[in-house]
């Protein structure tokens, strides 16, 4: 294993002028590789070069998709390791075990159920090999940073020395993706789903958090008691974020901008913190890929971005059009 770091502050004149350059190498089988990304390294080797501009944006160059993911995972861990580590704990259904008073038993039950082996296999089977390589690389890069830094040496007090900050695998990222996919849907019903219980005739069956009316309540159940039980079903749909969520994107051609180029404005309305927080980076696979943009944490590719030919964004809406 070899890492070469150049800490040198330089005046930023262009986008690719570098303030910090990091050559990052590692192997999936061992840590004895020593070289650079221009070498004829095997497919089992993770290798990436990370250059950061004055604003800290990582520009990652690699010879394959494993290397791209490796670089993004390492750079993201450098900048946001506590955020991603916490989200993985929640997505794996381990918040009560590791987060104490900040844990949630309903959340743990729900995500343990949802992120099943079958669900993860379904996701894996739907992906292209390049995507799977990048995801595996991301997990390896994140874990490599943690080995290099050490949990006790993390600067962010939110997770420095925490037991729940640990190396991750592709399986951890799949759980994370499963959680992210539910933001506008089932994630809003975590407690009702986790605490739901079937109705039974002539009896009450339910949890301490959600009580369920029987089909035929006992004769001695007063109207007041029945009303109290039924109140557990009141659910304010205005609390569902998807009902008032949204985003927008505007594309302007050169006839409007007054230049030779168009402009794409994206405003995705995603949160500043948590799983949907965006992270900006630049990926280069010489001769194949050159793209810059922002991706949500844990993801090795930009969700919104641009290359030399086209820019793209995405929006959500409660209306079907």
Q: Which residues are catalytic?
A: 247
- Pick the closest to residue 78 from 240, 297, 275 (CA basis): 297
| Whole-angstrom Cα Rg for the chain | 24
Cβ-count burial 295-320 (b if 16+ within 10 Å, e if not)? bbbbbbbbbbbeeeeebbbeeeeeee
Phi, psi of 148 (to 5 degrees): -65, -45
Pairing of strands 304-306, 289-296: antiparallel
Q: In the chain, which residue ranges form alpha helices assigned H by DSSP?
A: 65-91, 95-98, 105-114, 117-125, 129-149, 170-180, 190-195, 223-230, 254-257
Pairing of strands 304-306, 263-267: unpaired
Whether the Cβ atoms of residue 305 and residue 314 lie closer than 8 Å to each other: no
Number of H helices, E strands in the chain: 9, 10
Q: What CA–CA distance (Å, rounded) separates 144 from 147?
A: 5
Q: What CA–CA distance (Å, rounded) separates 17 from 12?
A: 6
Q: State both tokens at 115.
A: 């992120």
């Amino acid at each position: 294993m070899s890492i070469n770091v150049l800490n040198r502050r330089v005046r930023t004149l262009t986008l690719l002028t570098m303030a910090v350059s990091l050559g990052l190498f590692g192997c999936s089988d061992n840590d004895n590789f020593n070289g650079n990304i221009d070498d004829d390294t095997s497919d089992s080797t993770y290798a990436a070069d990370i250059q950061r501009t004055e604003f800290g944006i990582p520009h990652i160059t690699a010879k394959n998709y494993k290397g791209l993911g490796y670089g993004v995972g390492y750079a993201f861990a450098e900048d946001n390791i506590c955020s991603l580590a916490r989200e993985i704990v929640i997505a794996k259904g381990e918040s009560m075990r590791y987060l104490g008073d900040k844990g949630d038993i309903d959340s743990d039950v729900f995500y343990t159920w949802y992120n099943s082996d079958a669900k993860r296999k379904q996701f894996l089977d739907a992906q292209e090999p390049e995507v799977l390589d990048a995801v595996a690389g991301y997990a390896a890069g994140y874990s490599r940073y943690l080995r290099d830094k050490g949990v006790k040496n993390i600067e962010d007090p939110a997770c420095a020395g925490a037991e729940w900050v640990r190396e991750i695998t592709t399986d951890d990222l799949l759980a994370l993706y499963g959680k992210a996919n539910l933001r506008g849907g089932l994630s809003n019903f975590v407690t009702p789903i986790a605490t739901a219980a079937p109705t039974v005739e002539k009896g009450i069956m339910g949890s301490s958090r959600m009580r369920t009316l029987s089909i035929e309540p006992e004769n001695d159940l007063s109207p007041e008691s029945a009303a109290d039980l039924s109140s557990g079903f009141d659910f304010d749909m205005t609390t569902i974020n998807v009902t008032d969520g949204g985003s927008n994107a505007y594309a302007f051609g050169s006839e409007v901008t007054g230049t030779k180029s168009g402009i794409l404005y994206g405003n995705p309305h995603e949160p500043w913190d948590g799983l949907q927080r965006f992270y900006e980076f630049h990926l280069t696979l010489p001769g194949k890929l050159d793209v810059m943009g922002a991706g949500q944490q844990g993801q090795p590719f930009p969700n919104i971005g641009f290359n030399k030919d086209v820019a793209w964004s995405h929006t959500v809406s409660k209306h079907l059009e």
